[in-house]
């Protein structure tokens, strides 16, 4: 599969929800392969350990738009679980995609 786009998802987790967040993320990471996601990375900000960035490699822009819609939905049974963990809820989640240059 030719991975051609990287999806970035940024958000801040409420400090009291860090452990719950980490457990949910284990479930999310094991589910992302169903969406043809690869090379999944989770990074925290050095200056603010409650600020996280996910980097996910996807094969197409269509995959990006579909996954963005699902990841920002509080109605999704798994992804919606993050709504209470994120400062301001899922609506504060920042998603953007960058195409890889050849």
In the three-class reduction of DSSP (H, G, I as helix; E, B as strand; rest coil), residue 100 is classed as: coil
Cα three-residue angle 52-53-56, rounded to 5 degrees: 145
**Contacting residues for 92 by C-beta, under 8 A, at least 6 apart:** 11, 12, 86
Please report, in tens digits, the pLDDT of each residue of the chain (102 residues total): 455 899 999 999 999 999 999 999 999 999 999 999 989 999 998 999 899 999 999 999 999 999 999 999 999 999 999 999 999 999 999 999 999 776
Every domain of the chain and the residues it spans: 5-99
- What is the CATH code for 5-99? 3.30.70.100
């Amino acid at each position: 599969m030719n991975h051609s786009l990287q999806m970035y998802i940024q958000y801040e987790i409420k400090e009291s929800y860090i452990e719950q967040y980490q457990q949910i993320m284990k479930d999310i990471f094991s589910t992302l392969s169903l969406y043809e996601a690869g090379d999944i990375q989770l990074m925290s900000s050095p200056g603010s350990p409650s600020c996280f960035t996910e980097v996910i490699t996807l094969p197409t822009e269509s995959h990006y738009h579909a996954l963005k819609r699902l990841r920002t939905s509080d109605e999704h049974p798994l992804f919606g679980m993050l709504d209470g963990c994120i400062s301001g809820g899922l609506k504060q989640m920042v998603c953007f995609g960058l195409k890889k240059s050849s």
